[in-house]
Structure 1
Amino acid sequence: MFSSLNPSVLLIINYIFVIISLLSGVVFLNKRVPLSYVRVHVLLVAFPPLMTFIGLIFAHKNEAVGLFYSDVLAWLMAAFVLMVGLIIQRYCIRYLSGDMHYRKYFLMFTLTTSFASTAWLTGDIRIMVLCWGLTLIGLTILIGLQSAWKVTRAAAIVTGKSFLIGWLALLIAVIWIGISTGHWTYQSIYSPQSIDRIGDGTRLIIHLLMVIAVLVPAAQWPFQRWLIESVAAPTPVSAIMHAGIVNAGGIMLTRFSPLFSSDIATVILVLLASVSVVIGAGISLVHVDYKRLLVGSTIGQMGFMLVQCALGAYIPAIIHLILHGIFKATLFLRSGSAVRHFSVPRRANERMSYFWIVAGRVLALLIGLSYWLSAPSEGYRIVSGLILAWSLSLSWTQLVAFGEGKLGRILGLGTMIIVGAVYELIHHFFAETLHTITFAQGEPPLFLILVVAIILLLGSTISMWVARHRNSRLFSIIYMRIVHLGEAHNSAVERHPNYLKKYIARGGR
Structure 2
Amino acid sequence: MLVSLSSSSLLTFFFIMLIASGLSGLLFLHPRVPLSFVRVHIGIVALPPLISLLALANTTVEGIIGPWSLDSLAWLMAFFVLSIGLIIQRFSVHYLMGDHSYRKYFILFTFTTGVASITWLSGDLRLMVISWGATLAGLILLIRLNSGWKVANEATKVSGRLFILSWFSLLLAMIWLFNVTGEWQFSLALTNESLAQLGAWEKTGINLLIVLAVIIPAAQWPFQRWLIESIVAPTPVSAIMHAGLVNAGGIMLTRFSPLFNGDIASIILLILASISVLIGSGISLVQVDYKRQLLGSTIGQMGFMLIQCALGAYLAAIIHLILHGLFKAMLFLQAGSAVRRYEVSTHVNERPSKLWVMGGRTLGLVVGVAFWLMSPGEGYQLISALILGWSLSVSWTQLVAFGKGRIGKIAGLSFLVGSAIVYFIIHNLFYEWLHTTVYQGVQPSMSVVIIFVCLLLFGSVIGTWVTRHRSTVSFAVLYLWLVRLGEAKPKSVESHPSYLKQYLSQGGSQ
TM range (shorter): over 0.9
Question: Following the alignment from structure 1 to structure 2, what is the Cα–Cα distance between the partners of residues 350 and 135?
Answer: 46
The amino acid across from 2:68 in the alignment is F
Asked if 1:354 is matched to 2:351, the reply is: yes
- Structure 1 equivalent of residue 478 of structure 2: 478
State the shift of 1:390 in Å: 4.3
- Structure 1 equivalent of residue 128 of structure 2: 128
SS at match of 2:494: coil
1:179–1:374 CA distance, 2 compared to 1 (3 A): same
1:37–1:444 CA distance, 2 compared to 1 (3 A): same
Question: Following the alignment from structure 1 to structure 2, what is the Cα–Cα distance between the partners of residues 25 and 338?
Answer: 31
SS at match of 2:36: helix
1:298-313 maps to which residues of 2 (within 5 A)? 298-313=298-313
The amino acid across from 1:354 in the alignment is R
Asked if 2 retains the 8 angstrom alpha-carbon contact of 1:296 and 1:486, the reply is yes
Question: Following the alignment from structure 2 to structure 1, what is the Cα–Cα distance between the partners of residues 262 and 444?
Answer: 11
1:103-122 maps to which residues of 2 (within 5 A)? 103-122=103-122
Query: Deviations for 1:292-318, whole angstroms, at most 9, x for unmatched residues?
Result: 111111111111111111111111111
State the shift of 1:336 in Å: 2.0
SS at match of 1:355: coil
The amino acid across from 2:255 in the alignment is R
State the shift of 1:484 in Å: 1.6
Asked if 1 retains the 8 angstrom alpha-carbon contact of 2:368 and 2:389, the reply is no
Larger mean CA deviation between 178-187 and 496-505 belongs to 496-505
The amino acid across from 1:346 in the alignment is S
Alpha carbon RMSD of aligned pairs, Å? Answer: 2.0
Larger mean CA deviation between 384-393 and 221-230 belongs to 384-393
State the shift of 1:204 in Å: 1.5
- Structure 2 equivalent of residue 343 of structure 1: 342
Question: Following the alignment from structure 1 to structure 2, what is the Cα–Cα distance between the partners of residues 211 and 476?
Answer: 34
- Structure 2 equivalent of residue 366 of structure 1: 362
Asked if 1:499 is matched to 2:499, the reply is: yes
Query: Deviations for 1:65-99, whole angstroms, at most 9, x for unmatched residues?
Result: 11101111100001100000000000000000000
SS at match of 2:64: strand
Question: Following the alignment from structure 2 to structure 1, what is the Cα–Cα distance between the partners of residues 392 and 443?
Answer: 26
Asked if 1 retains the 8 angstrom alpha-carbon contact of 2:80 and 2:243, the reply is no
Larger mean CA deviation between 262-271 and 138-147 belongs to 262-271
Asked if 2 retains the 8 angstrom alpha-carbon contact of 1:81 and 1:116, the reply is yes
SS at match of 1:184: coil
- Structure 2 equivalent of residue 71 of structure 1: 71
1:489–1:350 CA distance, 2 compared to 1 (3 A): closer
State the shift of 1:438 in Å: 4.8
The amino acid across from 1:373 in the alignment is V
SS at match of 2:241: helix
SS at match of 2:69: strand
Larger mean CA deviation between 284-293 and 191-200 belongs to 191-200
Asked if 2 retains the 8 angstrom alpha-carbon contact of 1:253 and 1:260, the reply is yes
Asked if 1:158 is matched to 2:168, the reply is: no
Query: Deviations for 1:54-73, whole angstroms, at most 9, x for unmatched residues?
Result: 11111535511111011111
- Structure 1 equivalent of residue 265 of structure 2: 265
Question: Following the alignment from structure 2 to structure 1, what is the Cα–Cα distance between the partners of residues 234 and 221?
Answer: 24
Asked if 1:55 is matched to 2:55, the reply is: yes
Asked if 1 retains the 8 angstrom alpha-carbon contact of 2:372 and 2:385, the reply is no
1:317-396 maps to which residues of 2 (within 5 A)? 317-339=317-339, 341-347=340-346, 353-355=350-352, 358=354, 361-376=357-372, 378=378, 381=381, 383-396=383-396
1:225-240 maps to which residues of 2 (within 5 A)? 225-240=225-240
Question: Following the alignment from structure 2 to structure 1, what is the Cα–Cα distance between the partners of residues 449 and 80?
Answer: 31
State the shift of 1:179 in Å: 1.7
- Structure 2 equivalent of residue 200 of structure 1: 200
1:9–1:61 CA distance, 2 compared to 1 (3 A): closer
1:83–1:363 CA distance, 2 compared to 1 (3 A): farther
TM normalised by structure 2 equals 0.94
Question: Following the alignment from structure 2 to structure 1, what is the Cα–Cα distance between the partners of residues 359 and 333?
Answer: 35
Give the gaps of 5 or more residues in structure 1.
Answer: none
State the shift of 1:102 in Å: 0.3
Asked if 1 retains the 8 angstrom alpha-carbon contact of 2:287 and 2:486, the reply is yes
Question: Following the alignment from structure 1 to structure 2, what is the Cα–Cα distance between the partners of residues 446 and 438?
Answer: 23
Larger mean CA deviation between 253-262 and 179-188 belongs to 253-262
The amino acid across from 1:92 in the alignment is S
TM normalised by structure 1 equals 0.94
Give the gaps of 5 or more residues in structure 2.
Answer: none
1:60–1:156 CA distance, 2 compared to 1 (3 A): same
SS at match of 2:220: coil
Query: Deviations for 1:191-250, whole angstroms, at most 9, x for unmatched residues?
Result: 232112222222111011011011111111111111111111111100010342111101
Asked if 1 retains the 8 angstrom alpha-carbon contact of 2:311 and 2:383, the reply is no
Question: Following the alignment from structure 2 to structure 1, what is the Cα–Cα distance between the partners of residues 358 and 379?
Answer: 23
Asked if 2 retains the 8 angstrom alpha-carbon contact of 1:379 and 1:446, the reply is no
1:381–1:461 CA distance, 2 compared to 1 (3 A): farther
The amino acid across from 2:236 in the alignment is P
Question: Following the alignment from structure 2 to structure 1, what is the Cα–Cα distance between the partners of residues 508 and 356?
Answer: 56
- Structure 1 equivalent of residue 38 of structure 2: 38
Asked if 1 retains the 8 angstrom alpha-carbon contact of 2:112 and 2:139, the reply is yes
State the shift of 1:439 in Å: 2.0
Asked if 1 retains the 8 angstrom alpha-carbon contact of 2:269 and 2:306, the reply is yes
1:379–1:260 CA distance, 2 compared to 1 (3 A): closer
Aligned identity (percent) is 53
Question: Following the alignment from structure 1 to structure 2, what is the Cα–Cα distance between the partners of residues 484 and 216?
Answer: 20
Larger mean CA deviation between 185-194 and 324-333 belongs to 185-194
1:370–1:381 CA distance, 2 compared to 1 (3 A): farther
State the shift of 1:367 in Å: 2.9
Question: Following the alignment from structure 1 to structure 2, what is the Cα–Cα distance between the partners of residues 328 and 172?
Answer: 32
